[in-house]
Structure 1
């Protein structure tokens, strides 16, 4: 259902002086390897037969490739011991900006990423892709990046040790724009897709030499546990749980407090202060 991926962001000397585009020539290999993994994943996802519940798919790693690659090349260009593991893009976050938990203001004003965003092959009027012109706020992204802005002050402090990766790079919807998450579907419907995404997760863990996965939400905790057990049995990779910042979660108005407590209890706060 997705079109062929053609990379739009190459860090050439002529473009290295452009706003928000950092030339990282000494770190290109790991970025290119990661982007190649994502391209392979997108090819496999394009061959997957989704349940009839999923009637429309947005994949911002394709139509928002420019800013997605900016995120990868600017911040995911070294080995990282800590991965924050999300589920999939939100309609007013990564689906607009190409960046995980990509609430527009956080991505533009704190992460320093902005650029052209294209359109998915099929766009639903109730879920328009306006890129950085989107005026809607994604609460999950605002909470997530807002927390680390408060703790780290500058994004480089977070990315010294950490990065964010989504299990599936797609947003799924019904034709009326109603969101469908992987957790909404039965495991038997998703088994083949899980096999694809689990293996890709392992490739990303190995590429970045991740030691700790912070699973954001129960779905991601379960997928990380099953992937590690199946493909990296005996691995020292640690899986920790952090509540999801979504306002849909029950009693989640104090997510910041819960997340900070989580970081403290798991001895992670030290990496960001």
Structure 2
């Protein structure tokens, strides 16, 4: 995908554009290193399928990074892993299809995972399902920012684990479902990579989306970046399991206001 040159409009007059492009390439290098290391992870027998959209949805994943994540950022919105009807279909974090197409302006070919469940097909931008988490997340920032450029001027979204895991019946598995020894093996692979991403983007504030991400951020900073004064802010996950959309919007608003972050999105 090295021929793909997509740059967001707010970088068009940026004198550091060469440096910005180098950040994109370094980001891809780190993600690919993580993917190689994850090949060595022994999944429990309950994991029947693994979808990794940073591989099979590489075209649109790279568009997202080159277009919006090619400069250093103060704020990282930190998610856990791809959702079945979001990033697993589009290659974009919280990648609900209409938000990705209509607001972020990203669309393109999406391939297939090596092993695909019939009950969880990857149809790319033809997927008929809506991911409510992504719809809420990007919908909130669309309402506040107006344009994607305003959001990405200071912020970006990154997932701890680039993979979606599923049982044979299509049910999701998360790192929290693993046994203690399996968790520790997984964390020993991903935590140092997460630390590299934080350093690459010179992140000052992590907005941890959900309790799992808050804990991984705390553990990673304590072990790998103890000298860094990076602030961790907790934001409830926008999943419908957290309650109705109005409730989550109010929670997100309170999180940003209480931590003096709304200044970046108005």
**TM-score under structure 1 length normalisation:** 0.91
Q: Quote the Cα distance in structure 1 between the aligned partners of 2:94 and 2:72.
A: 21
Q: Which residue of 1 aligns with 2:157?
A: 164
Q: CA deviation at 1:250?
A: 5.4
Distance 1:111 1:75, change over 3 A: same
For residue 101 of structure 2, the aligned residue among 96, 108, 115 is 108
Matched, 1:258 2:251: yes
Matched, 1:217 2:210: yes
Q: Quote the Cα distance in structure 2 between the aligned partners of 1:228 and 1:84.
A: 16
Q: How does 1:100-139 map to 2 (within 5 A)?
A: 100-139=93-132
Give the alignment's Cα RMSD to 1 decimal: 1.9
For residue 185 of structure 2, the aligned residue among 178, 192, 201 is 192
Unaligned runs of 5+ in 2: none
Matched, 1:173 2:169: no
Distance 1:78 1:234, change over 3 A: same
Q: How does 1:21-100 map to 2 (within 5 A)?
A: 26=18, 27-100=20-93
Whether the aligned pair in 1 keeps the contact of 2:242 and 2:248 (CA below 8 Å) is no
Whether the aligned pair in 2 keeps the contact of 1:215 and 1:242 (CA below 8 Å) is yes
Whether the aligned pair in 1 keeps the contact of 2:176 and 2:183 (CA below 8 Å) is no
Q: Quote the Cα distance in structure 1 between the aligned partners of 2:146 and 2:42.
A: 43
For residue 182 of structure 1, the aligned residue among 175, 183, 190 is 175
SS of residue in 2 equivalent to 1:47: coil
Q: CA deviation at 1:251?
A: 6.8
Matched, 1:153 2:146: yes
Q: CA deviation at 1:254?
A: 1.1
Q: Which residue of 2 aligns with 1:11?
A: 4
Q: Quote the Cα distance in structure 2 between the aligned partners of 1:252 and 1:145.
A: 12
The number of equivalent residue pairs is 260
Q: Quote the Cα distance in structure 1 between the aligned partners of 2:237 and 2:180.
A: 20
Q: Quote the Cα distance in structure 1 between the aligned partners of 2:117 and 2:238.
A: 25
Whether the aligned pair in 2 keeps the contact of 1:9 and 1:70 (CA below 8 Å) is no
Whether the aligned pair in 2 keeps the contact of 1:9 and 1:66 (CA below 8 Å) is no
Whether the aligned pair in 2 keeps the contact of 1:247 and 1:253 (CA below 8 Å) is no
Q: 1:120-172: per-residue Cα shift (whole Å, max 9, x none)?
A: 00010111100001110000000000000000000000000000000000000
Q: How does 1:237-252 map to 2 (within 5 A)?
A: 237-249=230-242
Q: Quote the Cα distance in structure 2 between the aligned partners of 1:207 and 1:116.
A: 28
Q: Quote the Cα distance in structure 2 between the aligned partners of 1:187 and 1:87.
A: 18
Q: CA deviation at 1:113?
A: 0.3
Unaligned runs of 5+ in 1: 1-7
Q: Quote the Cα distance in structure 1 between the aligned partners of 2:194 and 2:180.
A: 18
